Every structure is written in structure tokens, then in C-alpha cells.
Amino acid sequence: MSDRAELLEATLESLPEGAALLGNNCEIVFWNQAAQAITGYAAQDLIGRTAPETLQPLLGCCGLPGFCADGSSQQTGRGFLVHAQHKLGHDVSAMARRLTLRDGLGGRIGRAVLFHPAECLDALPHGETGENQEMEASLEDLKERLEQLFEDFTHGGPAFGVLWISVDQAHDLRKTHGAGACEAMLKKVERALAHGLRPMEYLGRWGEDDFLVISHERTAAMLARHAQVLAGLARTADFRWWGDRVSLTVSIGATQVENAASLADLLEKARTSMFSSYHAGGNQITAAPGVQTCSPS
């Protein structure tokens, strides 16, 4: 039995997430190194003691599981967004997942909590990246523009939307003709898309096979029509490799900042919509929220 306990402790200690085990009275019985790094509290500060008030929102010790009396917890698909306090006094925003622990008869014996800094969720979603320095520069440029536009929007600035564009043939072309052929094709598509940009719009690589357009179209319908124009331009890109003509289509996800809780959420909605278009057979435009899918004419 002791071997099992040691194995469990070693497993929890090796996790990159903070891990805590609590008894029924909110006394802490295990606290790993990652938990110390996130909160500033070492295991010797906490083991055998009731969770301090500063950590109770994180550990779920203040009322209903996951919700605190001050409303500082918000449930998402990845857990609860909570605001606790670091040992040094500053705020700690974290995503926490909680599990009630029970004995063999179903009786409650405690709680397990896993948590990580909420900043991890703020990394902006983008497509897969390789070692293409030009693409990395495009990613960084677009990130800066997006962050500035989102900051401006939160302070009363103009709304904007994004189009996440993925070339349907890129994966197969890379596999059958190699990375050089795929890169040449993507540059051809990028030049074609650039011809359809409105004033003050931005276009750049957003991953190995993906592009992102930052648009200021005022409504979802206008954004979708603009996406149709860009999809048509991508189809007309005449790409040939060693004499073979490759027909090109794109899958597009469209969303607008008014429908997003954060910049990361905005991009995640665009990515999810793009995947909806791709899995519908490609050559599609999907607007988020909803399932407004259409085939470009």
C-alpha cells in the first residue's frame, strides 16, 4: 500500500500543473512543486492546515464547489476561472479543475484540485508552425496588430472581424510534392488574396497552411460576402508544379469582435468555424456564432 502511495505522490509531484489534495474540512494533505511556483506557498506552509483565505477561491473552499460568495469564479469548458492571492499579495488568475474524492462505499473523503495560470489560455490560437522565419515574422506582426485593435475596441474604438483562411489542398500537396511546392502554392494564394483586400485590412500567414485577414466590415453579412470574394480569388490562383495544374480552394471561418469575450476567444471561434468549413468538404465559409455555412459562388 505504501508503494502505491509513493507512486501516486511521485506522479502528482511530476505534473506541470499545480496539484492539491484536500480533506473534507478543507485541510491540505498534498501540495506539489508546481502549486508552490504558482501561488508562492510551499508545502511546509500548508500541509495539515486549513487552506488560507487567500487560496480558498482557488481550492473551492468557500461555498458551492467552483463558486465563491464574491462571484470570483467563472466556469468554462476548461474548468473554473478563479482569482486567488499569491503569498506576496498580488492577484493570481488561474484555471482550476476540481474532483470530489470518494471511498469504495461512495462516501466523500476529500477533493483534488488541478490548476494552472490563466495566462496559458491567453496565448492566441494559430495554425501549426514550422521553422519558416518569414511566417514567424508575419505571426508576430499580426499578433501585435490584433492586440492593439482589441485594446482599442475595449476602450470604445472601432469593431473589427477576422477571417481564418486555410488552403484545402495544402496538406496533400506537401505530402505528395514536398514542402517547396506547398510553400510556392501558399505564396501564390497570398498574392491572390491580397488583391481583394479593402483599405486598412491586414493579411498574413497564421500558420503553415493558414492565413488571417483582419477586416473592418461592419456586419456579419458584409464580412461573409467579403469572404466569398476572397475565396473566389484563391480559386483563380493559377498554380502549376512541374506542368501539373493544381486546383485550389479554401476553407474560411469568419467572426467579429463583438461576439467574443477575449482576443483568444475571437480567434478560437474563427478557427472552429474554419474547421467546420473544412470538414464540410472544403471550399466553404462558416460564420460564427451559428452554422451559417455556404459554398462560395
DSSP state of 40: S
Q: Could you say which of 93, 121, 149 is where a domain stops?
A: 121
Nearest to 38 by CA among 81, 1, 2, 86: 86
Residues 17 and 152 in one domain: no
Q: Is the pLDDT confidence value at 291 over 60?
A: no
Q: Is the pLDDT confidence value at 132 over 90?
A: no
**Residue numbers of the domain that contains 262:** 123-294
pLDDT at 75: 39
For residue 179, the cross-strand partners are none
Q: What is the mean pLDDT of residues 2-17?
A: 81
Kindly state the cell numbers that stand for 204.
498574413
pLDDT at 76: 38
Lowest-confidence pick of 16-30, 118-132, 159-173, 224-238: 118-132
Distinct helix (H) and strand (E) counts, the chain:
9, 14
86-109: pLDDT as tens digits? 888 887 888 888 888 888 888 889
pLDDT at 26: 85
pLDDT at 292: 43
Q: Could you say which of 121, 148, 172 is where a domain stops?
A: 121
Residues 106 and 241 in one domain: no
Residues 145 and 278 in one domain: yes
Q: Is the pLDDT confidence value at 152 over 70?
A: yes
Residues 134 and 277 in one domain: yes
Q: Is the pLDDT confidence value at 232 over 90?
A: yes
Q: Could you say which of 97, 121, 145 is where a domain stops?
A: 121
Q: Is the pLDDT confidence value at 227 over 90?
A: yes
Q: Is the pLDDT confidence value at 65 over 50?
A: no
pLDDT at 32: 93
The CA distance from 127 to 205, in Å, is 9
Q: What is the mean pLDDT of residues 70-95?
A: 66
Say if CB 221 and CB 262 are below 8 A apart.
no
Q: Bigger pLDDT: 13 or 165?
A: 165
Residues 16 and 91 in one domain: yes
Which pairs with CB-CB distance under 8 Å and at least 24 residues apart come from 193-202? 193/165, 193/230, 193/233, 193/234, 195/233, 196/226, 196/229, 196/230, 196/233, 198/226, 202/142, 202/145
**What CATH number has the domain bearing residue 258?**
3.30.70.270
Q: Total domain count for the chain?
A: 2
- Helix, strand, coil fractions of the chain, as percent rounded to 5: 40, 25, 35
Most confident of 26-35, 116-125, 132-141: 26-35
Residues 111 and 130 in one domain: no
Residues 36 and 176 in one domain: no
Residues 234 and 134 in one domain: yes
Residues 45 and 160 in one domain: no
pLDDT at 130: 60
Nearest to 129 by CA among 202, 36, 206: 206
Give the amino acid at 173: L
pLDDT at 210: 92
48-60: pLDDT as tens digits? 999 898 898 888 8
For residue 241, the cross-strand partners are 244
CB within 8 Å of 267: residues ≥ 6 apart = 124, 125, 126, 146, 162, 164
Q: Is the pLDDT confidence value at 169 over 50?
A: yes
Residues 58 and 147 in one domain: no
Q: Is the pLDDT confidence value at 64 over 50?
A: no
The CA distance from 133 to 80, in Å, is 37
Residues 103 and 151 in one domain: no
Residues 73 and 114 in one domain: yes
Whole-number average pLDDT of the chain: 82
**What CATH number has the domain bearing residue 109?**
3.30.450.20
Say if CB 227 and CB 211 are below 8 A apart.
no
* pLDDT band at residue 13 under the 50/70/90 scheme: confident
